[in-house]
Chains A and B, each alone.
Chain A
């Protein structure tokens, strides 16, 4: 948050910005919180905490700029700084390790020859949701931001505090990993070529 671009709001203006620019994103925020924590109560706490921070630091939000990206950034930071520390995820994987592991050519291959549209069309249950949830949180996050929320590279770079090139490659890997997962499910469902 750039200190040089702080806005001055009256108390009334603060509430107006909060109600008109922040609250309308509550659905997306809750979904993001839920997809990160995979727990409804944790998601509620995370979203509430994010909105409180947004209100407290409203001076650093510039009217007319992208409120949704700003809120997502706060939520993501709260998740990393508060939630992850608190819960000390036992199976938390060091991201760098994951990234270099998946940086191999193997995962960059094109998976289209495996997975088929027909197999996907029969995934009417929770397979898609489970496949997404099974991805490491960093890969899950970029899929949510890009494919569910429609954020662009530059917005994602700001939300995640990573360079645009990293956004691009992480998204690419995330899509391949997701296809791998879906392919596993398809095989279980009996699609030989999946």
Chain B
């Protein structure tokens, strides 16, 4: 694959780095074509594979450790009654 076929390529023709590709993927901004390209690329590029694995692991941990907070029950009731009182 020449970098001309790289769906991450910039309009300027400047070569795109692994780190830049990885960020597009991580940020959820990649197209399907870019996902496929990056998946293939990772098979041949160990640093990319490792970075990707690490970043996904971090994201998964953040999701499992920083999301679970249950909304205090009285908060919803407080909001509902306040809205009802002004509507």
Contact between chains at B69 and A48 (CB < 8 Å) = no
Contact between chains at B28 and A146 (CB < 8 Å) = yes
Residue of B with least CB distance to A182:
B58
Contact between chains at A175 and B78 (CB < 8 Å) = no
The stretch from B7-15, B36-44, B46-54 touching chain A is B46-54
Q: A120-B54, A146-B28, A168-B23 are in contact. Are A35 and B66 (CB under 8 A)?
A: yes
Q: Does B76 contact A (CB under 8 A)?
A: yes
Chain A contact residue count (CB 8 A cutoff): 46
What's the A-B contact tally at a CB cutoff of 8 Å?
98
Contact between chains at B57 and A121 (CB < 8 Å) = yes
CB-CB under 8 A from A143, the residues of chain B are 62
CB-CB under 8 A from B53, the residues of chain A are 117
CB-CB under 8 A from A34, the residues of chain B are 69
Instruction: Please provide the chain B residues from 66 to 87 with a CB less than 8 Å away from any CB of chain A in the complex.
Output: 66-67, 69-72, 75-76, 78-80, 82-83, 86-87
Which of B50, B54, B55, B62 is within 8 Å of A128, CB to CB? B62
Q: Does A172 contact B (CB under 8 A)?
A: yes
The B interface is mostly helix, strand or loop, or mixed, namely helix
Per the bound structure, the CA–CA distance linking A117 and B78 in Å amounts to 43
CB-CB under 8 A from B23, the residues of chain A are 168, 171-172
Contact between chains at B83 and A55 (CB < 8 Å) = yes
Q: Does B16 contact A (CB under 8 A)?
A: no
Per the bound structure, the CA–CA distance linking A148 and B53 in Å amounts to 18
Which of A11, A56, A148, A150 is within 8 Å of B62, CB to CB? A148
Contact between chains at B27 and A168 (CB < 8 Å) = yes
Per the bound structure, the CA–CA distance linking A144 and B63 in Å amounts to 9
Q: Does B32 contact A (CB under 8 A)?
A: no
Q: A26-B75, A51-B83 are in contact. Are A110 and B28 (CB under 8 A)?
A: no
Contact between chains at B66 and A110 (CB < 8 Å) = no
Q: Mark A134-150, 1 if CB is under 8 A from B, else 0.
A: 00000000011011101
User: Could you tell me which A residues sit within 8 Å of B by CB distance?
Assistant: 11, 14-15, 18, 23, 26-27, 30-31, 34-35, 40, 44, 47-48, 51-52, 55-56, 110, 112, 115-117, 120-121, 123, 126, 128-129, 132, 143-144, 146-148, 150, 152-153, 168, 171-172, 175, 178-179, 182
